[in-house]
């Protein structure tokens, strides 16, 4: 089938989904870079996600799932296939001591609550929830343990996939279990130990699984303590990271026995620029979109940095971001 015929099928089977053709991915990535996706679909529930998976398989279309488009670089010629944005936003908070259920469901922008939290809590949250939004909901409910993730510009799904972390915390420390769609489009639940968490890696990193949600194990804290941690982390990000420019977050992973940003800095690459892309002058581990960069600019800069670091130090540095497209 051609694009218009596939569009017709999508609209028939997904009447409430938002379907766009030839959608510029620069509008949907934190890098503000990326050519058009053949189809950009925002799915609002699990049934719609499963339907998109079926349609992609039936028409032999590549399928890529995204959240907020962070940690992602889309090439200038775009993506031939379907980009699926999961808009699953529900959250449920349960007190573990007596299993009392509290304010059963929140949705995005519905953050009012009045509860008396104590002890430990299980927070069931769907994959499309933004980390910053969840942090604010938990602050209002005086639930701690999530502060490390508050400034990470992604969603629950992406954070689990890469075992996101900051300020001494990682998702592996708080995830109890994960619900996902496997390659057969079946819903599966696995426990933390089955997730194969390691530094910026999980079972989901190299699998065509679609994360639907998870249970997080958190705890009671005071609003003052939580807010102080959130403010401290935000101030640190502002001081140390180039959050004033579009980027995909940290471009490179830490090495096993070295700090990548320090090596890049020592190689004299801070501020090095190709086209509109630049190695951040504030944090050498970040490549930023300084001035209308193209994906080609970023890719060429990554290549240059990795080559120079290897030439001068003998160390191979690896990407933390994902590059997709043609």
CATH number where 74 lies: 3.30.43.10
Q: Which residue has the tokens 């004299």?
A: 268
Torsion over CA: 197, 136, 290, 82 (sign): positive
Mean pLDDT of 208-214: 97
Q: How many angstroms separate the CA atoms of 24 and 4, rounded?
A: 18
Question: Is 320 one of the annotated active-site residues of the chain?
Answer: yes
Indicate the range of 98-102, 127-131, 209-213 predicted with least confidence: 98-102
Q: Which of 48, 142, 170, 320 is catalytic?
A: 320
Mark whether 103 and 68 lie in a shared domain.
Answer: no
Write the DSSP symbol of residue 155: B
Please state whether beta strands 79-86 and 36-43 pair in parallel, antiparallel, or not at all (unpaired). Answer: parallel
Mark whether 235 and 102 lie in a shared domain.
Answer: yes
Output the pTM of the full model. 0.89
Is 180 in contact with 203 (CB distance < 8 Å)? Answer: no
Question: Is 50 one of the annotated active-site residues of the chain?
Answer: no
Do the domain assignments include residue 250? Answer: no
Coil, strand, or helix at residue 134? Answer: helix
Q: What are phi and psi of 99, to 5 degrees?
A: 65, 20
List, for residues 75-110, the tens digit of each pLDDT value: 999 999 999 999 999 999 998 864 444 444 444 444
Do the domain assignments include residue 246? Answer: no
Mean pLDDT of 248-256: 93
Do the domain assignments include residue 120? Answer: yes
Q: What are phi and psi of 36, to 5 degrees?
A: -75, 140
Whether residue 174 is predicted with pLDDT greater than 90 in this model: the reply is yes
When divided into structural domains, the chain yields a total of: 3
pLDDT for 99 equals: 45
- Helix ranges (DSSP H) in 21-85: 46-58
Q: Which of 127, 150, 250, 280 is catalytic?
A: 250
Mean pLDDT of 23-40: 98
Do the domain assignments include residue 247? Answer: no
List, for residues 132-145, the tens digit of each pLDDT value: 999 999 999 999 99
pLDDT for 118 equals: 52
Q: Which of 147, 200, 202, 237 is catalytic?
A: 200
Is 87 in contact with 46 (CB distance < 8 Å)? Answer: no
Which CATH number does the domain housing residue 216 bear? 3.30.465.10
Residues of the domain holding 66: 3-86
Mark whether 210 and 307 lie in a shared domain.
Answer: no
Do the domain assignments include residue 137? Answer: yes
Mark whether 312 and 224 lie in a shared domain.
Answer: no
CB-count exposure of residue 73 (10 Å: 0-12, 13-18, 19+): buried
Mark whether 120 and 223 lie in a shared domain.
Answer: yes
Mark whether 33 and 70 lie in a shared domain.
Answer: yes
Mark whether 110 and 51 lie in a shared domain.
Answer: no
Is 157 in contact with 87 (CB distance < 8 Å)? Answer: no
pLDDT for 97 equals: 62
Mark whether 95 and 214 lie in a shared domain.
Answer: yes
Do the domain assignments include residue 252? Answer: no
Which residue among 194, 209, 240 closes a domain? 240
């Amino acid at each position: 089938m051609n694009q218009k015929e596939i569009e017709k099928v999508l609209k028939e089977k997904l009447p409430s989904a938002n379907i766009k053709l030839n959608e510029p991915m620069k509008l949907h990535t934190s890098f503000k870079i990326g050519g058009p996706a053949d189809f950009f679909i925002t799915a609002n529930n699990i049934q719609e996600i499963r339907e998109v998976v079926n349609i992609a398989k039936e028409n032999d279309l590549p399928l890529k799932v995204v959240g907020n488009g962070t940690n992602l670089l889309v090439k200038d010629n775009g993506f031939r296939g379907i980009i699926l944005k999961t808009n699953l936003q529900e959250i449920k908070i349960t007190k573990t001591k007596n299993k009392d259920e509290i304010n059963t469901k929140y949705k995005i922008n519905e953050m009012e609550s009045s509860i008396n939290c104590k002890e430990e809590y299980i927070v069931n949250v769907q994959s499309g929830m933004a980390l910053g939004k969840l942090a604010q909901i938990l602050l209002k409910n005086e639930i701690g343990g999530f502060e490390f993730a508050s400034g990470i510009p992604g969603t629950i799904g992406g954070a689990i996939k890469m075992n996101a972390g900051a300020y001494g915390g990682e998702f592996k420390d708080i995830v109890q279990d994960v619900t996902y769609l496997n390659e057969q489009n079946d819903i599966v639940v696995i426990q933390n130990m089955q997730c194969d968490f390691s530094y910026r890696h999980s079972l989901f990193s190299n699998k065509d699984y679609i994360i639907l949600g998870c249970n997080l194990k958190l705890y009671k804290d005071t609003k003052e303590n939580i807010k102080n941690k959130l403010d401290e982390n935000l101030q640190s990000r502002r001081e140390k990271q180039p959050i004033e420019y579009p980027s995909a977050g940290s471009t490179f992973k830490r090495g096993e026995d070295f700090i990548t940003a320090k090596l890049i800095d020592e190689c004299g690459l801070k501020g090095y620029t190709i086209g509109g892309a630049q190695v951040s002058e504030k944090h050498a581990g970040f490549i930023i979109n300084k001035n209308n960069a193209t994906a080609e600019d970023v890719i060429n800069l990554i290549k240059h940095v990795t080559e120079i670091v290897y030439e001068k130090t003998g160390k191979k540095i690896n990407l933390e971001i994902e590059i997709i497209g043609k």
